[in-house]
Structures are given as structure tokens and as C-alpha cells.
Amino acid sequence: MTTIAEVRGGLARAIYAGTNLRTDPLTLDSVNAPCAQVFRAEMDPRMIFSGAKAQYQFTVRVFMGRASEIAAQEAIDDLCEINGATSLLQAVETSDNWDVTIDYAQVVRIGETGIANIGGVEYLMAEFDVEVVF
């Protein structure tokens, strides 16, 4: 069976393959924007599909530098598009972008754009909630 760590890495690589956005599969202490980080979110440990499959929730946090706030906001907007070359949703939901075995992945929520302060540096940030079944 595929592991959480394998899926987390696969999700990061799927985002990179579909958007060319550097994506770390683990939470890091520092941010090198533009980038994304994958977090395992709260989950229900019960199996689905007659007890044969696991369903996991991940949160992808996208960080953009604020050197040019307009460009940063436009870049986040591009990632929030439903489809297109920079759509994070399309990157996640396109099976050809995945290099690990999953049944499906879907973006279930695109959050608002906000400001994150990490190590005394402010970034524009948006969250994407992703459900993966494997």
C-alpha cells in the first residue's frame, strides 16, 4: 500500500509538474518564495470503499514574495484558476502528473489570499485543500 509520505511527495511533484512551482513535500522552517509546501491535514482514519481505500487530506500553502505585491497577487490568482498552464487544481487533478499510485486527487477548497509572517519576513499566501484516495 502506498504510504502517506509517498503521497505527500507525489503531490509535491504533481504540483511542480503541472505548474513549475517549486513545491516542498515537507514543512520547512524557511521559505524561498515563490514556492509551496505540503502539510498533512486533519483526517478521518476510517477506510472508505468497503474498507479498501484510505482517504487523506493535505493542505498546500503557496507563498509569494511581496517585492511586487501586484505580481504576487496575480501569480496566486493564476494558481487559483480552474484550468490552464498555471492552475494548481489542474496540476493536482491530472493523473499524468502523479508518479505514485493513487485512485484520485482533487482540490476541495481554495482559500483566500492572506499574509504570512515567517522568520520576520512577510509573504502573500494562499491555501489549497487537497483530498487524495489511495
For 85-103, the pLDDT digits (tens) are 999 999 999 999 999 999 9
Domains of the chain: which residue ranges?
4-133
Query: Is pLDDT of 117 > 90?
Result: yes
Comparing C-alpha atoms, which of 26, 33, 27, 10 is closest to residue 92?
10
**Taking a C-beta distance cutoff of 8 angstroms, is the pair 79, 88 a contact?**
yes
What is the reported pTM?
Answer: 0.92
For 51-70, the pLDDT digits (tens) are 778 889 999 999 999 989 89
Give the pLDDT mean for 11-38: 95
Q: Cα–Cα distance between 48 and 55 in angstroms, integer?
A: 7
Comparing C-alpha atoms, which of 44, 41, 24 is closest to residue 33?
24
> Which CATH number describes the domain made up of 4-133?
3.30.2000
